[in-house]
Amino acid sequence: MVEMTGAEAVVEALKREDVSVIFGIPGGANLPIYDELYDSGIRSILCRHEQSAAHMADGYARASGRVGVCMATSGPGATNLVTGIATAYMDSSPIVAITGQVPRAMIGRDAFQEVDIIGITTAITKYTFQPMKAEDIPSDIKKAFYIASTGRPGPVLVDIPKDVQQEKAEMEFPERVTIRGYKPVVTPHPLQVEKAVDLLLSAERPVLWGGGGVNLSNAHEPFRKIAELLMAPVVTTLIGKGAFPENHPLSLGPIGMHGTAEANRIVLEADCLLAVGVRFSDRSTGRFDEFCPDAKIIHVDIDPSEIGKNKKVHLPIVGDAKVTLEQIYERLRARIAQQREDSPWMKRIQEVREEVRRNAKLDSSNNLLSVQVIKKIRELLPPEGILTTEVGKHQMFAEIHYKVIKPRTWITSTGLGTMGFGFPASIGAKVAKPSVPVVDLAGDGSFCMTENSLAVCVEEGIPVVVVILDNRSLGMVEQWQRIFYNRRYSSVRFGSTPDFVRLAEAYGAVGIRATTIEDFEKAFNHALLSEVVTVIDVPVNPEEDVYPFVPPGSGLKDILYGPEEL
């Protein structure tokens, strides 16, 4: 037991969780904590908007596998965090958000900058804490990190009234905590594992489907070994890219609205689907009733509430993905040898691949193509390099054409689809992995939403690379208006402002415009070696549409290869 203030206890509790960096903005209601951070040894990165602070913590968490921490004051500071918290919640990313609150006596009196952030975030967090006594802070912070990082990861919010931060008390810092009613099931039931093995061995057309849960639990190795033992093709969700190396012969890429054609076709022909750490999102499955109609579906997930929520499955297995897959692999290996590469199923996959290649539509324009740029990034960025994306057409191009080779090198907002996510997330990733090159692939619309984080990069010396596929529009919305609304472009085109090269220079960053693929290669190589954040503006044709894609509300079988099919 030691006497200290609530603010001192916050910082001490963070140190005990090995927190080395916090992303946030100080304000009146969290100044006691910031004062303690001043000489704490914890790096405090001053952001320019709280939404970006939450995204930076999120990017840090996804790149490192550790809990990211963001901080804001009460009222508008706290509400500005909300989009970032919701983004982390939808993508199961472990962050702890700490907010200041008005003094206890002022709560519920509409005090200056008071807001019920507990009420606002209850639906988008795993849990929220509001310690009303200083001595509760050590335990609440410990619980927040435990909840955020265990079971299905996710955000936790800790809201601390200002006078609680200032209050002195005898503090006890627990080594571990237990929470009644919260005991994630890590180890699967052995009978369910045995049934899964039986189903996989009886299948003639097995497919493995990896989601974000494979990445979160670091289940990549047993996932790959099962695929290779069964000689089963592998598909992923958008967030699951990286669950399986996409340069592997068994990889078909992601399924879904903007998945690859071969993945969308093969998954529908499966007679057994091993789905791991996925939530059967409508963006991945298309129409639920048409998804995998003939397959026995095995669903492995640590969150029992996800099983059967969107799609009825034949075999539910609740457990950690890595633990479960290791057990499935060991039982499979005890019963079979590696399957043959010339099986009828492998021949069928090759047949579909060749057919897809013949159907691919090539852009015959002379413009610099988004696909060219994305493939060039893949060529130049080392396998361990991290690519973040914003949300929009560039993201969909990257989903199809950027091959993720290593785990935790692909960071994108999927569940909430948050424009403005990628750039601050790239900053968080670079802070987590300073020796690894980090690139944000952006659209001009998304980048404009959080471009003020350029100031953070310059001031803090965080040299990420931003590549803007600049089509001067909300490109994905424009594509939908072109296809489904008879080219009635309502409020999607931006005009000529801003000039991204001059914008970057105004912040003290490096700005380069590339109009040919040779210019881009030169600029990108220069940016990778730069010690200053670099923005590469690449003008592209706004009518370069993403194909193949599945129209909204359709099934995966309704995939379109080009505009003439509409």
Active-site amino acid positions:
50, 112-113, 162, 476
Instruction: Enter the DSSP assignment of 486.
Output: T
| 364-367-372-377 Cα dihedral, nearest 10 degrees | 180
Helices (H), 28-81: 31-37, 50-64, 76-80
Written as six digits, the tokens of 124 are: 């988008």
What is the Cα–Cα distance from 508 to 315, expressed in whole angstroms? 56
Phi, psi of 475 (to 5 degrees): -60, -45
Instruction: Enter the DSSP assignment of 542.
Output: T
Instruction: Enter the DSSP assignment of 390.
Output: -
Written as six digits, the tokens of 271 are: 């007679």
Contact yes or no for 348/269 (Cβ under 8 A): yes
Written as six digits, the tokens of 467 are: 């590549």
What is the Cα–Cα distance from 544 to 439, expressed in whole angstroms? 22
Written as six digits, the tokens of 213 are: 């849960």
| Beta strands 272-276 and 68-72, pairing class | unpaired
Phi, psi of 226 (to 5 degrees): -65, -45
Neighbours of 561 (CB within 10 A): 15
Per-residue CA distances from 468 to 343, 393, 437 (Å): 44, 11, 17
- 370-380 and 517-529 are packed helices; what angle lies between their axes, rounded to 10 degrees? 40
Q: Exposed, middle or buried by CB within 10 Å (0-12, 13-18, 19+), for 1? A: exposed
What is the Cα–Cα distance from 506 to 531, expressed in whole angstroms? 17
What is the Cα–Cα distance from 400 to 449, expressed in whole angstroms? 24
Contact yes or no for 60/434 (Cβ under 8 A): no
- 220-230 and 321-335 are packed helices; what angle lies between their axes, rounded to 10 degrees? 30
Per-residue CA distances from 327 to 62, 192, 197, 313, 499 (Å): 26, 11, 10, 20, 55
Neighbours of 488 (CB within 10 A): 9
